[in-house]
Structure 1
Amino acid sequence: MTCVKPLLGHRPDLVLAFCGGKLDPGTVLAALRDTLGDVPVVGGASAGGITRQGYGYSGLELVLIGFSGAEVTPRLVVQDLLPDEMAGGAALGAAVRGVAEDGAVVLLLFDSVASHLPLRLHPASHIVEGFHRGLGGREVTLFGGGLLTDMNLSDSWVFDGAVLRHHAAVALVFPPGIAVETSILHGCRPISTFMEITRIDGAEVYELDGQPALGVIERMLGLRLGEAQGQELSLVATLGQKQGDPFAPYDENAYVNRLILRASPATGSVTLFEPDFFPGAKVQIMARDNALMLDSARNGVAAMNRAIEGGDNLLALYIDCAGRASARSGALTEEAEVVRTGLAEGVPFAGFYSGVEIAPFRGYSRPLDWTGVLAVLRRRG
């Protein structure tokens, strides 16, 4: 395996692997074992990979990151998500509490697809909420993402250090000498006034301001739903909840947006990626804006370069929503290209295309949709 050769000079203590969905994970694991020996392999499926050398989402990408030495190698915690993602997240948080020091950096990766017919995702909001409960007051900096085999949400799985697993989450707890700087890259703008969710069941929004949610969104966008049952909506719109002062000037960093997973003309409802909105929540219809996405990427990378200048930067990891890829968004410029070429030279860089992104947001780590999370691991000063 050509991609393993750079790891051979410094035999890793742990390998983080992101594996395209068209690759056979068992074959990948076996090849890594043959080359590297009994090294824990953590990570899982990815809809594509990003490195300094390029990016791709053909399903044949393999991104490997090696950690060597006790001062940088994270500890691994693994947890099943079924039958209850909230309880699974709480058990994971409790296990992390047992090995993490206050202020530790934690990378969370999880299997995104819970079932195929009907399509159901493991809700990141439940996993993360449970995780925070399980921490029992322990302060950590949490970031991460949901793993997918492709942009069609066909499947997902994780490497748990030893084997391939479904319906599981892994947490990598970094040593106390490691800190992280994060930047969230956005790209949506509001195109409606505030509306109240007047009927919702889990992730399925039935009514906005007392009217069928699907009809409201279609009228606002001037879009009639076709045969794809929500594909049109998922490509152009989200529902966004503004944080803080609702009357403050527009700031993309003030919004938590939720992608539309599917729509139901029969019930007039739309189903979101996450079930964390609630009756009475004030939301806006958000248009996915490619020009704004690219500007956000440029501005976010520039801000990151300023933040990490002069530091002992070990790894930049980019967790990029698969929907931001040109094949999905229709953008003429690849957003990942803006990030990989804009990040300061000399910082080791890798990334993967994800289903959901997790990052500190206004003092609390939470799942995000249609974002890119750029995280730079560095030694504490």
Structure 2
Amino acid sequence: MLCLTALAVIQIGYSRHSDARQAVLDGIRPLLDHRPSLVLAFCGGKLDPDTVLSTLRRELGEVPVVGGAAAGGIARRGFGYSGLELVLIGFSGDVTPTALVQDMLSGEISAGAALGAQVAAVASEGAAVLLLFDSVASRMPLRLHPASHIAEGFHRGLGSRSVTLFGGGLLTDMNLSDSWVFDGAALRRHTAVALVFPPGIAVETAILHGCRPISTFMEITRIDGAEVYELDGQPALGVIERMLGLRLGEAQGQELSLLATLGQKQGDPFAPYDENCYVNRLILRASPDTGSVTLFEPDFFPGAKVQIMARDNALMLDSARNGVAAMNRMMQGRDNLLALYIDCAGRASARSGALTEEAEVVLNGLTDSVPFAGFYSGVEVAPFQGYSLPLDWTGVLAVLRRQDR
């Protein structure tokens, strides 16, 4: 699909092929009528990224290519998470973002601060900023780049500048096998990229949830980074297992990651249930030896009040329908440029067990008057109660539009 105005062109390409070169040749066709000045590419983990990049360069010239690995791709022409999907978004004219790059080798907080300072130097007040980074810091042992640390540093580096930050962590597949980033010129790891959109372009976001509390509030009484040892003075793993009626098998937390999260309610803890008030954290792994669980993010703390949250497929699909309907209403009468869907890989039916693909609900429900693309992510970042935070097991639907005059 194509968004074309006198000053702007946004083009969407999608393909699925086992040969990386052919995937590019199939997906690039919609981008050839108006040569883009920047390409945002989300590349399935089974496609060779060097071949993807070199083929894009051969066909388009020295256009910057940003983006990176994706557990799957989503577009109006199709969607999937086989690892063979390729999504291409071409920008030209006055909607083309500026790409800024920062390695994370010195640590995620300092890297976020450096990237935030770069953004502050070029961004207009209230600018829309898309953040992308490779999620996997190491595979043996598995360690992730904490999105909460990147976001914390980013806000520090911004200083007094205000922007609307949204984005996601990149993965090659749902098993957290690997990740990498296209930085505009090459393939890199341990890297974050910020795309700063020009003045006059705003972004609206809707966060699609799908968890419900199944416990009372409990206090984290012992935690070290992302590893939660105790809830209310008891081994965290045992508490969660008892609440779920589950005994951990040989999968070292696989059952828990598919069934439950820990959620922290924001605002009035006694207010009626509202899914939009929760920040949830997926369980990365569990340790029967220590009775602990390790979360995707290290931003919970001793004394934090949390609840065990069950992942509810019916609620997830309802949240998707309601969020898309609200976004459709917001878009009415506005100059909408692009809808980008950042979808947690765990929401795919292969992981969630849902009988309906949640991405298909979004595809079918979103008005077809706006170009649409998306990717399956490891973590999602979106404005939450005035501050951009990483989120788990959510879908973030972001619509770029020209600001109302």
Q: If the TM-score is normalised by the length of the shorter chain, which range does it land in?
A: over 0.9
Match of 1:311, SS state, is coil
What are the residue-to-residue correspondences of 1:319-338 with 2, within 5 Å?
A: 319-338=342-361
Aligned to 1:23: 47
Which of residues 27, 43, 54 in structure 1 aligns to 2:67?
A: 43
In 2, Cα distance between the equivalents of 1:81 and 1:328?
A: 29
Which of residues 97, 111, 134 in structure 2 aligns to 1:74?
A: 97
1:252 has 2:275 as partner: yes
In 1, Cα distance between the equivalents of 2:353 and 2:180?
A: 27
Structure 1 runs, 4 residues or longer, greater than 4 Å off: none
1:197 has 2:217 as partner: no
Structure 2 unaligned regions, length at least 5: 1-24
Q: Report the more deviating stretch, 77-86 or 180-189.
A: 77-86
Task: Provide the TM-score with structure 2 as the length reference.
Answer: 0.94
Which of residues 271, 278, 293 in structure 2 aligns to 1:270?
A: 293
Aligned to 2:400: 377
Aligned-residue offset at 1:37? 0.5
In 2, Cα distance between the equivalents of 1:353 and 1:84?
A: 25
Aligned to 2:114: 91
Q: Report the more deviating stretch, 339-348 or 251-260.
A: 339-348
Aligned to 2:15: none
Amino acid at match of 1:14: L
Amino acid at match of 1:55: F
Aligned to 1:165: 188
CA contact (8 A) 1:113 1:122 kept: yes
Q: RMSD of the alignment, in Å?
A: 0.4
Which of residues 76, 92, 100 in structure 2 aligns to 1:52?
A: 76
1:343 has 2:366 as partner: yes
In 2, Cα distance between the equivalents of 1:137 and 1:234?
A: 38
Aligned-residue offset at 1:314? 0.6
What are the residue-to-residue correspondences of 1:117-132 with 2, within 5 Å?
A: 117-132=140-155
Aligned-residue offset at 1:83? 2.6
Match of 1:6, SS state, is helix
Aligned to 1:285: 308
Amino acid at match of 2:373: A
Quick one: percent identity of the two aligned structures?
A: 84
Write out per-residue CA displacement over residues 160-183 of structure 1, whole angstroms, 9 at most, x where no aligned residue: 000000000000000011101100
Write out per-residue CA displacement over residues 18-53 of structure 1, whole angstroms, 9 at most, x where no aligned residue: 000000000000110111010000000000000012
Aligned-residue offset at 1:54? 1.6
In 2, Cα distance between the equivalents of 1:297 and 1:82?
A: 36
In 1, Cα distance between the equivalents of 2:99 and 2:76?
A: 27
CA contact (8 A) 1:54 1:337 kept: no
Aligned-residue offset at 1:264? 0.1
Structure 1 unaligned regions, length at least 5: none
In 1, Cα distance between the equivalents of 2:337 and 2:330?
A: 14
Match of 1:68, SS state, is strand
1:64 has 2:88 as partner: yes
In 2, Cα distance between the equivalents of 1:81 and 1:189?
A: 34
